[in-house]
Structures are given as C-alpha cells and as structure tokens.
Structure 1
Amino acid sequence: MATPQAPPASNQAPQPATTTEKRKPTFVKVEDLKPGTKGHNVVVKVVRAETISPNRDANNSNNSTNNNNNKPRRAPMSLSHRPARPSRIAECLVGDDSASIIFTARNEQVDVMKPGTTVILRNAKIDMFKSTMRLAVDKWGRIEVTDPASFVVKEDNNLSQVEYELVTVQG
C-alpha cells in the first residue's frame, strides 16, 4: 500500500477558497456624480421619460438644402454602418433627495423607466453629451425595479443642466 504523498511545493501563494464572497455595493447620491466616472450604484426615482427619435440630430443638422452655400451634400451613411435593428432611446429625468440627472435609457431599458418607478442602477456611468452629464447603464450594468422610495426628487438641482468645459493644464 502506497503512502499518500504531499503535493509538490510551489512558489505560488496559497489560493483562496473557491467560493468568492461578493462585496456589498456602495451606493452614492446623485449630487456626488462627476463627469467621466463609472461604476456607480444609485437608487433613483423616475420623474419623467421622453422617447427620442433615433435621428433627432439628423433633422436639425446644417446639411439641409436650405443653406445657400451651394456646397454638395454629403452622401448618406452606408447601410453597413447602421444598426441591425432599430434602437429605442428615451431620456428620463431621474433623481434622489440630493439632485436629479438625465438618464439615457436604451432598448429594453425604456420599458423599465416609467414615471414614478424607483430603480436601482448598478454599475452606472456618466457619459458626456454636448458638454453636459448623462447617466447611463451599459451591458455591464443592471437596472432593477425596487420598492417605491419615500424621498422626493430634488428637481431644482439638475446636474444635466450644468455645462462642463474641458480645460487643458499646461505644466
């Protein structure tokens, strides 16, 4: 009968147990959100939601035939660069008792973001749109409907109305 042998010694540190413990999420207030940041967990209430036409900016562009500069118009974007299915976009005013911000809901998210609903946004990020902040949840984040919150949204502190300017620091 062979005696059991100890595994060969290695220079690696001992591995932790196979069960990983999840960190408890840290929630932030809307007023603490800053441009270009990500990984936020926020509990917000939806104040209003407005569906946006996918080609909203195309209708307002300066490439219309009404400008009298006689320049040829640009060729339309080829079909290969368009999304395979039409996307739905809604701009939703969301917030908590500290501030409010516009949340950009895409596709299935539009159905969840109904006025009066309280949601938990996990792994949310701040996108910049025309020098203003927009809150968004991409494929790495999650939106969960939760029990109605008791707070009143502070609409007079709308972070999406603050215009930011990129400043380069010379050293």
Structure 2
Amino acid sequence: MATTGNASVATGTSSTTTTKRKPVFVKVEQLKPGTTGHTLTVKVVDANPVVPVTRKARPGTSMMSRPSQPSRIAECLLGDETGCILFTARNDQVDLMKPGETVILRNSRIDMYKGTMRLGVDKWGRIEATEPASFNVKEDNNLSLVEYELINVNDQ
C-alpha cells in the first residue's frame, strides 16, 4: 500500500450549524462619522421631501433602453432619547417615514454630506416599522448640526 504526503484527507461534510447573532442596538449619540452596520430603533420627528431628481441617459449607454424614473428623496429627522440625526430616505423608504412612526434601521451607515453626518440605509440594510416606542426624542442634541473637517496628516 503506497502512502502519499496527504495520508489523512477529510472526506466528510461538516455538520456545523450557523446561528444568527443577536443585533446590537446602538443609540443615536453613539454614532460616529464613517461608521457602518448600525442597528437603531428611532422615532420619525419630521419628513421633508426633496425635489425629485430625474437621471438623464447619455446617448450610447445602457440606460437608453430603460425608461428613467425620478428618484424620490426625503430628508427625515429621526431620533431617540439620546439625540437626533438627519436620515436620507430614498424611493420606497420615503413611504415608511411618517412623523410619529417608530422604525428599526438595520445595517445603516453614516454618510458625510458637506461636513455633516447623515444616516442612510442602502440595499444591504433594511427598514422595518415597529410598535410605537415609549421614549421622547431629544431634539436639542442634533448630530447633523455638528460640522466635521477632514484633516490630512502628512509626515514631513
């Protein structure tokens, strides 16, 4: 019987089961610029639609074959008992953002817009309506009013 360098090769299937990990809910005051993967329970304080933007196709692009639909965008003020932040709702998300509603944002991210923080949920995240929360939104701690400045550190 000849042996090779790989005498013991595992030929079975692994019977490990993957379990979902519990989401870690964060508060608004814990959000920092450039971070992702946040799960929050927040109340909608205000929702203001922004002028619809229609994308125009350039000749010779693949967008010529598809009719362009205007994007619906709304700037919403969301918050919890620790603070509030502006949220950019896009398309179907706009319908969920009604003042007074309580929503859960899963896998949300912080975008920077003109030096200020904005909360957003892209295609990898999810927004769910939930039962009304018992907390009052702390509107005097608006994280979107804090202006950040990008500093490049060069070693000289």
Structure 2 length-normalised TM: 0.83
Root-mean-square deviation (Å): 2.3
**The one of 80, 102, 113 aligned to 1:96:** 80
**The one of 144, 151, 154 aligned to 1:167:** 151
Whether 1:154 aligns to 2:138 is: yes
The alpha-carbon deviation at position 126 of structure 1 amounts to 0.4
* 2:57 equivalent in structure 1: 79
Q: Secondary structure at the match of 1:160?
A: helix
* 1:53 equivalent in structure 2: 51
Q: 1:91 to 1:123 in 2, by over 3 A?
A: same
CA distance in 2, matches of 1:151, 1:44: 9
The alpha-carbon deviation at position 16 of structure 1 amounts to 4.7
Q: Which ranges of structure 1 fall in alignment gaps of 5 or more residues?
A: 1-7, 56-76
CA distance in 1, matches of 2:98, 2:29: 22
* Deviation beyond 3 Å, 4+ runs, structure 1: none
CA distance in 2, matches of 1:15, 1:99: 46
Aligned identity (percent) is 63
CA distance in 2, matches of 1:54, 1:25: 34
CA distance in 2, matches of 1:52, 1:78: 18
CA distance in 1, matches of 2:112, 2:152: 17
Q: Which structure: larger Rg?
A: 1
Q: Secondary structure at the match of 1:79?
A: coil
* 2:42 equivalent in structure 1: 44
* 1:105 equivalent in structure 2: 89
Q: Secondary structure at the match of 2:71?
A: coil
**The one of 23, 26, 30 aligned to 2:24:** 26
Q: How many residues align?
A: 142
Task: Kindly indicate which of the two structures has a greater share of residues assigned to strand.
Answer: 2
* 1:74 equivalent in structure 2: none
Letter in 2 for 1:25: P
Whether 1:124 aligns to 2:108 is: yes
CA distance in 1, matches of 2:42, 2:142: 13
Q: 1:9 to 1:85 in 2, by over 3 A?
A: farther
Whether 1:139 aligns to 2:123 is: yes
Structure 1 length-normalised TM: 0.76
